[in-house]
């Protein structure tokens, strides 16, 4: 593990990786990356590298889990053993079970579950490289994988965190800020409906700081949402040769 840096943010408001407090890490998204999945997405969010695959709607196994009036959404978040500095056991950890639930609950409000009774939609998230904020990047990728599978949705969920390092509220914490900072507020949003589908807080903030962090996270979500939509549209752009 690296030694603790002296300061996470300097007097001029420059963070360890050179970002300003309200700046996102570089983000790159791809859709349709897995040919065996019904829908898929790959995201690079800073140093995070995450793959999401959506399978369904399909028959439910075991059958007794099927819901008579709506689709069953199952999500699995998994971190590859090589995704972090210290080897992560491939067996599901408590944290992974929690994050699987968090991802499912973030996506569920956006999907027209009632359109597909007695079926299942399975969403698998594989974290290949982790650098803080993997739950948010996973939600962003998982929502795109579901959209890519052609499942009708009210909106495409997008997620981003804000938090506090030293005395400053900052956007999109990377690993060091996440671990050494004093608070982290991950938020998932349906940007067109302006509805929050996930709000968590790790650490302590005053009411004013919390409001500031939530607003900053929403701004971050909106920026990522634009990249998400551009990526999805680009897949369906018809490339035609223009004859002179
Ligand atoms: N992490 C790690 N080993 C683990 C789990 C997490 O090194 O077994 C790191 C990883 O970089 C992750 C960060 O700790 O992104 C923060 O984890 P947290 O539980 O806060 O979730 P996240 O911020 O990724 O949503």
Instruction: For residue 73, give the nearest of 141, 155, 146 by alpha carbon.
Output: 146
Determine the pLDDT at residue 209: 98
Segment 32-44, tens digit of pLDDT: 999 999 999 999 9
CB 133 near ligand 1, within 6 Å: yes
Nearest in space to 134 (alpha carbons), one of 84, 181, 94, 168: 84
Predicted confidence at residue 236, as pLDDT, reads 84
Among 130, 136, 182, which residue has the most ligand 1 atoms within 8 Å of its CB, making it the best to mutate? Answer: 130
Task: Verify whether ligand 1 is closer than 6 Å to residue 87 (CB atom).
Answer: no
Quote the tokens at residue 144.
Answer: 């795109």
**Any idea which residue has 């999401």 for tokens?**
52
What is the CA(209)–ligand 1 centre distance, in A? 23
Cβ proximity of 150 and 77 under 8 Å: no
| Domains in the chain: boundaries | 27-233
**pTM (2 decimals)?**
0.96
CB atoms within 10 A of CB 150: 11
Give residue 46's region: left, alpha or beta (phi > 0; psi -120 to 50). Answer: left
CA angle 41, 76, 112 (to 5 degrees): 70
Q: Is 138 touching ligand 1 by the criterion CB < 6 Å? A: no
- Ligand 1 close to Cβ of residue 177 (< 6 A): no
pLDDT score for 6: 82
Residues in the chain with pLDDT values less than 50: none
What is the reported pLDDT for 95?
98
- Mean pLDDT across the chain, nearest whole number? 96
178 lines ligand 1 (CB under 6 A): yes
Residue 223 is predicted with a pLDDT of 98
Q: Was domain 27-233 assigned CATH 2.60.40.10?
A: no
- Residue 238 has a pLDDT of 67
Tell me if 228 CB under 6 Å of ligand 1. Answer: no
């Amino acid at each position: 593990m690296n030694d603790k840096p002296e300061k996470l943010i300097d007097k001029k408001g420059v963070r360890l990786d050179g970002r300003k407090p309200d700046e996102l890490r570089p983000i790159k998204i791809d859709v349709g990356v897995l040919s065996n999945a019904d829908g898929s997405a790959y995201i690079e969010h800073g140093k995070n590298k995450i793959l999401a695959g959506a399978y369904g709607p399909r028959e439910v196994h075991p059958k007794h889990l099927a819901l008579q009036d709506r689709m069953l959404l199952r999500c699995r978040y998994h971190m590859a053993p090589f995704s972090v500095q210290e080897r992560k056991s491939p067996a599901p950890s408590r944290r992974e079970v929690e994050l699987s639930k968090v991802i499912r609950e973030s996506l569920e409000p956006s999907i027209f579950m009632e359109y597909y009774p007695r079926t299942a939609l399975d969403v698998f998230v594989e974290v290949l490289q982790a650098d803080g904020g993997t739950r948010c990047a996973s939600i962003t990728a998982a929502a795109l994988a579901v959209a890519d599978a052609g499942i009708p949705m009210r909106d495409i969920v997008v997620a981003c965190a804000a938090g506090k390092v030293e005395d400053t509220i900052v956007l999109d914490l990377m690993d060091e800020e996440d671990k050494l900072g004093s608070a982290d507020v991950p938020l998932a949003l349906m940007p067109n409906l302006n509805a929050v589908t996930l709000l968590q807080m790790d650490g302590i903030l005053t009411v004013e700081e919390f409001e500031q962090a939530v607003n900053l996270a929403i701004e971050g979500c909106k920026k990522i949402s634009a990249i998400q939509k551009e990526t999805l549209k680009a897949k369906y752009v018809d490339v035609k040769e223009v004859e002179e």
